[in-house]
Amino acid sequence: MSGIRLGHGLDVHAFADAASRPLVLCGVQVPGAPGLAGHSDGDVAAHAVADAVLGAAALGDLGSRFGVDDPSLAGARSILLVEEVVADARDAGWRVGNVDLTVVAQRPRLAPHRDGMRRRLALACRVDLTDVSVKLTSTDHLGSIGRGEGIAAWATCVITAVDPV
């Protein structure tokens, strides 16, 4: 097993039709914004991070780990899934070194929530706040994201081998 690995994750969700569904990114609820469609809470950012961790540790992907056919996961808090895959990676001999996340959204304005997203993601990944980057951008009105139809997220994660005890 090499001492350092890199993983990446990508997820995209359309906005939900249900006006009552909250928008959740990195486990942080964004007040007044439409939520994202999905079997879980639709947290596109958490999903991208979870896939990055799983990929780096060669533990599969989010869809195979937590199937959309599992009724017990309906409405699940995706940040808790991140905590679970981080624990799985740890059990496989890896710890998260750092996470770099980019959230792409034309709407809503997310900058006021960046710090909360970083804090919650650092907690879920069991790393210091300085090891988590959350970047926010738009597509300048290009494509489905630019038309405000949903949100996308890309994540990169470095994991390192856990020192033997």
Of 33-37, 69-73, 149-153, the one with minimum mean pLDDT is 69-73
By the 8 A CB rule, do 25 and 131 touch? no
Q: Mean pLDDT across the stretch 33-49?
A: 95
Q: What is the pLDDT of residue 2?
A: 67
Q: How far apart are CA 154 and CA 135, in angstroms?
A: 10
What is this structure's pTM? 0.95
End-to-end CA distance of the chain: 16
Does pLDDT of 108 surpass 80? yes
* CB atoms near residue 152 (< 10 Å): 20
By the 8 A CB rule, do 47 and 12 touch? no
pLDDT tens-place string over residues 126-158: 999 999 999 999 999 999 999 999 999 999 999
Q: How far apart are CA 163 and CA 43, in angstroms?
A: 32
Domains of the chain: 4-161 (3.30.1330.50)
